[in-house]
Structure 1
Amino acid sequence: MSGSNRTILFGPFVLIPERWSLMEGSKPVRIGSRALEILLALVERSGKLVGKDELRARVWPETFVEESNLKVNVAALRRTLGDGRGGVRYIETVSGRGYRFVSPVQILGDDAATHNDAPARLRAHNLPIPATRVLGRGQASDAILSMCEGARLVTVVGAAGIGKTTVALAVAARMAETIEHDVRLVDLAPVTDPALVPSAIAAAIGLTVHSADERSALRMFLRDRRLMLVLDNCEHIIDAAAICVRDILAAAAGVRILATSREALRAEGELVYRLPPLETPPDSHELMAAEALAFPAVELFVERATATLNAFSLDDANAPAVSEICRKLDGVALAIELAATRIDAFQVREILDLLDDRFRMLMGRRDAPGRHQSLSATLDWSHDLLSESERTILRRLAVFAGTFSLESACALAADGDLDRTDLVEGLASLVAKSLLSVDARGAASHYRFLDTTRGYALQKLAEAGERDRLRRRHAENMLDLAAQAEAEWHTRPAPEWIGDHRRQLDDIRLALNWAFTDQHDIPIGVALTAAAIPLWEHLSLVGECRACVERALAHSDDGSLREHDEMKLRMALGTALLHTRGPVPR
């Protein structure tokens, strides 16, 4: 990035190119490198049109990327700046041509005198960059932070979609700035096998395990360290998570743990914070806009609606309807966000009417928890408002357990009824509607579902009768990616190779489970196991590699195993046995 010794001022922000830094007042702003490069390109030519091709050439100088990548990064930049909030505008879209920075800009020649008091570099952590502000959770964050300072295990408990992860990450970010501990996030959502919980924790903290007993290795590694672990999404493997937590806390006095789950871990010394819904206004037709906006649920709706449609504003006429929407959605953050994204297609009163219809249709589901009924209603309703192609893309992509690239999305979802152009546009639309999240920090964007949305979409996949076909496609795609990774190992720098391919691990596990369960496709499972060996080995997942290789060999006694694959499997098994058990006779 060019611009040595410059400080660029606009609104409340300070951009210092030499330091690769964006600050809001004296507070650092987390922003991806691509979005920051786009911001600099726009502010350098404030008031002038910067074309899409020019931006792509600057931000991805040696890489061809789809236009959707640029759109996603500009959208993330707008969210970071709060573009449109309170009527303040920074970036204007010139349809079909590019973007223009419309806020007044001041460029100073030397930043040394004005920013000596900038906060110190944040401590080591792997927390994601927040895409939006955390609204209405100040009291909860303060309470959880206080609990974390007094206890070594705190669990944030609440209903699906209520905002547990958002609050936990906000607390973790504050702790990363103020305490001596490093902070490490462990996302357990993709982990479907309870036995792999120690592996997930080890990977997050940078532990290389050369032992069959990963739990013991974890205890030894953490024994003398000061660390905050954030264990996110524990509910589906809660027993295994609780055992790991118990082992770690017993062995490592300097480790603290903040967990999120739909239920408590029930571990010794655990403090539980039950996250309430966002506060909603009382039922009143006389509620004015200023009064409604004081409630966090309404504030969230307004911010997300404004991000979707810049012209939207809360006024005295629509405030009662917005308040009613928030009440009917029980203050559940995910449900409110999904409702707000439809403001570009419907008036507030129409959204409320559609929501009323959907709620009445679900009144008979008495066997489900109350708040889950509201979330299910919101997801049903949001799904019904999608185009047919968007629905198809949504359910087909739900087969991915973790993050996936545009190319993998095309390999799975593109079919006779959907071409690549349809899929690219549909993917961008699902991101815009908050049904997919995107990580645009690398050379190419990667996508993933919220856990609740993925579960809902998987149900739709089963109802459409496409599950088996898509599972097979998913396994074939993982085989292609694993083979590509195997071929690239000797031609790419190791850190770059690992960074690109380790994200495939959760989906490889899912594909292997499908292939071997009920013998869906043993040849694919065996071939994928052989192709994935370099990934397990270079991520030091020796125990997992041994177990998978033994399973593949056990299922291939019919003579169908290719000699080359058998040689790789037996070599990997011998290596794994040597590292985990020593030179045993086997």
Structure 2
Amino acid sequence: MGQIEIGLFEHSGWELDLEKRELRAMGAPVPLGSRAFEILETLAVSSGGIVTKDELMKRVWPGLVVEDNTLQVHISAIRRALGKDRDLLRTVSGRGYRLLGEWTEPERRIAGPMPAMRVQSSQRAGFVTNIPSAASELIGRQAAVSHIMTLLSAYRIVTLTGPGGIGKTVLASEVARRLQPTIGDAFFVELVSLSDPNLVSTTLAQALDLRLQGDDISAELVARAIGNRKMLLLIDNCEHVVDAAAEMVEAIIRACQNVSVLATSRELLRIEGEFTFRVPPLDVPANEQVDDLLQHSSVQLFIARTRALQSDFMINKDRVSVIAGICRHLDGIPLAIEFAAARAATLGLSQIAGRLDDRFVLLTGGRRTALPRHRTLRAALDWSYELLPEGERRLLRNLAVFPAGFTLEAAMAASGEDEEETAVGLSNLVSKSLVTFEGTEAAPRWRLLETVRVYSLEKLGLGADYRLTMRRIAAFFESFFQPFSNENSLQVAIEGLGPYRREIDNLRAAMTWALSPDGDGKLGARLAAVASDFWTAMSLVSEAGEWAQKALSRLEGEEGGRTEMVLQCALGFALIYTQGMSERGKDVLTRALSLAKTLDDPDYRQRVTCALWLFSARSVALKEALVRAHEYEKGDGGRDAGSGATAAWLTGIPKTYQAEHLEAYDRLEWAAKNSPPDNRRRDMLRLGADIRTSSMAHNTVNLISLGRLDAAFLTAEDSILEARATKQPFVFCVALAWASAFVSLSLDNEARAQEWGEELIAHALQHGLKPFYAVGLCVRGSLASRSGSPAEGIDALRAGLREMQEASYLLFYPFFMCEFAAALQAAGRFDEGLDEIDRAQRFSADKSYRWIEPELLRKKGEIIAAQGGDETLPVHLFQEAAQRASAQSGLYWELTAGISLVEYLASRGERRAAKKILLPVYERFTEGFSTPRLLRAKMLLATDT
């Protein structure tokens, strides 16, 4: 070999050898990809000057359009290679890059002849490759292929990792096929069949046809035999011989500057210069309702593979939705999807979708040419599992009990090991692609892919190990959710819901086991009690009640204690909101109050007193509600400003419906303004209501009655905004119910009644709040009747009233009985309408529900007037309605009764009564002049000439 000149740049122990194209640190080679080396060479030659991005791209990628992020990958590779001296490569903002330091070229040296090699290496003309041809189209991996190609020009060793079946080999092969025309020789080296790590070097030598002599073929010998050949090595399935594979690759990278390595392994090689690319699953739809299901690569793969086996396989919207669900349950793992598609071609989609829980039996039978470990889903996971040491197997089995992922602390609880041992084991499982990191540096979190989790759960079984693990995590979550069971920490827990929300499915799993016949009932009951306020904070009131009910049957010796008290309170509140004011709910709350008094627990005594008040108020036992309010005021109402606001709210509401409008208005206005905002969310859980929103909603009844119509409507709108911000379904339903019914219907604003009424129905249905659904039905019925469809209105009103009665949710009952009577009148069913009015009047008298009495008298007069007959009775009823309203300070109802009287008299020929009857009332209004009834009164006054 002749002599040539070479260039060598040096700086502080670093050497940049342009002839060998090698970066060395203190004489030791540092792996660096070919493009990254060219960038470093360009910067070194510039002698510390700034090289722009455009100049670098033109130098390294001549004639190609390259994106900025491609350059960034290579800059990162150089900095990674420089290690602790990474700051030598400086970014000059907006201009380019420069290499700091004195990179000198000390001498031009003459290279002597290369020493003779003692091994044979086959030299062939042209490019050589044994990369297998593609068996089918690669779906959903275009971005990954492009990115890996970029990585291989920046790093000399790139390892594709991921769980079995994720598609590492297929992806690596496609990258190698695309690079081969430009990189030269490309070799596929398959290690899967090796059982002896000592055969790695021999296998590599055979794949490259190096024809090495001797029995002991070492990694160094193979590397020397490769020498300066330019090639790409694709080394597949390294995980079961990972130490030997790492040794082999490291030797090649150090000795062979023209070789790049693309490896696939479920475990990292962990050698210098390695860049890891974790192969992601195919993208899956978040749910079946999204519009672009066919745009997701997992769905595309399923359809393509099914059609390959069943050419007439047709798709429609329903089928695509089912396919999306299958792909999501299979985590987007290509191998599992291919198995599922193969089965769908023979068994049908519905069979596959319905049997995924038995996926390891169902998902078998891949391609005949597949490796044995890829012929069933179980085999793919057996391969990884059997490679684990026993400690990591045990940890993997224990982690399978978490359906929603886990933190390090939770993993420690499940394993029963200390932090160091758990963290090391967890790190190893991540590196072996069996556990996925999905959190952030500030909030680290891990999970098992669902297929891995199902497999590991099967390995765990249902015996003693499973029971021990579940008992540990139930105890862990009892401690984790403890802040929700302490009055002093409840507000902080509610404001920081994020970490707790992430554990919701894990909590369900722990409670399901603990409250099962094979679980630990006493532990489950304590956990249910600790977490009871968490469910309500999550707007899952119904679920809170379900868990409380299950737990109460598993107290196992803890009857009469705090646990039972908390559970009885949670169940009572849930029953009120989901089932209404049933006797069972009252009995449950009465028991809770008795326990709170016995245990001298002021917090729960306050909670349950409010719950029993809520029960009385909603069932329109107004006198009893006032007794509860005074009980609260006497016992707890003076503790703080919040308790004072609560006491004002408790007394203001029953007084509203007893028609003490002036006092009720003052109390509710004060309660709304003085309810402390700091503890608002905590108080919603403790009291079963939001004091501010509830006070505003109920006060609309007083505002309308007092003739403050604009204020009533604005208050209704504000209450909805306030309630929406709380994100509590029952609070939002309260605001919508009052706004759509009492406010919108009373003020004849049908547009708003419909808007808010339909939202009420949808929200109540979504969250299982039956009493509020009944209100929404009645609003819908009232609007139908008013718009000229009385038959439709009658059906909806009858259904809503029936549900109100069944739920004993009666605050709206007389109001909608009056609306029902109006619908019957519109249908010409006068006698039935009068019967409804009579029932409503008896109800109001029995319950002291007086505010509606003027309107019931007026409606009765209108039905009788429409029916014909006694001409004096309607006049008497209208006059009595106005007098009753005046006595209650009900200015609006007094005007409404006056309008009916004037219109009735006009129909009888008396056309000069408006000014005498209406003017004194109309002149007392200060607002609301654009509302329909005031406009009607104004018109009647104008025509009274």
Q: TM-score range by the shorter chain?
A: 0.3 to 0.5
RCO comparison, higher one (Cα < 8 Å, 6+): 1
Q: With structure 1 as the length reference, what TM-score do the two structures score?
A: 0.42
Q: With structure 2 as the length reference, what TM-score do the two structures score?
A: 0.27
Kindly indicate which of the two structures has a greater share of residues assigned to helix.
2
Kindly indicate which of the two structures has a greater share of residues assigned to strand.
1
- Structure of larger gyration radius: 2
